[in-house]
Homo-oligomer: A and B are copies of this chain.
Amino acid sequence: MARAGLTTARLTRAGAELADELGFDHVTVTELARRFDVKVASLYSHLGGSADLRTRIALLALEELADRVAAAVAGRAGKDALVAFSDAYRDYAREHPGRFDATQLRLDADTARASAGVRHAEMMRAVLRGYHLHGDDQTHAVRLIGSVVNGYVRLEAAGGFDHSDPGSDASWARVLDAVDVALRAWPPP
């Protein structure tokens, strides 16, 4: 029987596509095997199993997202950088809902440390350079931005802003305006 040419990388990429099509929690080794027209057990030479597949998809998505964000914030500062950063996030989530969902997968400490999550944190700090926040304040601000962007994008993806006026695009712009104000007028303790 002809070999299907399975590799860990190809399976991971196909898994990511599956996630975008069906939703991250409908990604299953069974469905993946179907796509490659191969028996399920065959995947186990390339993947550690279902959980392994999911974390590989998560790591892939984190890389992709970090690349996009890096490209977006390059050469920008201040509010310009904040908006570019946030838009990159939101756009990725809308283009790749399954992959974005994957980025929220809880990774164990070691895996997280070796992941592109680290780059995400660095880039957020880079965005804050234009706001002249330092020390603990910078960390607090990083957490604010992370919360707003993740929170907004998730609520939007969950359909929370559908069917109500004004549209989500308008709110997104105004929310980022508000965050910009908060960062510029960062309150003392």
Contact = CB atoms under 8 A, between A and B. Distances in A.
Contacts of A187: 174, 177-178, 180-181
A44 interface: no
Nearest to A137: B174
A161 B155 CA distance: 21
Copies of this chain, count: 2
Interface string A138-163: 01110110111111101100111101
A139 B178 CA distance: 13
A123 interface: no
Contacts of A163: 109
A31 to B, nearest CB: 18
Contact of A140 (B25, B137, B143, B174): B174
Nearest to A160: B146
Contact of A146 (B109, B155, B170): B155
A92 B121 CA distance: 27
Given A174-B189, A182-B178, A164 B152 contact: no
B164 A139 contact: yes
B147 A106 contact: no
A28 to B, nearest CB: 14
A148 to B, nearest CB: 5
A71 interface: no
B148 A155 contact: no
A175 interface: yes
A158 B140 CA distance: 17
A166 interface: yes
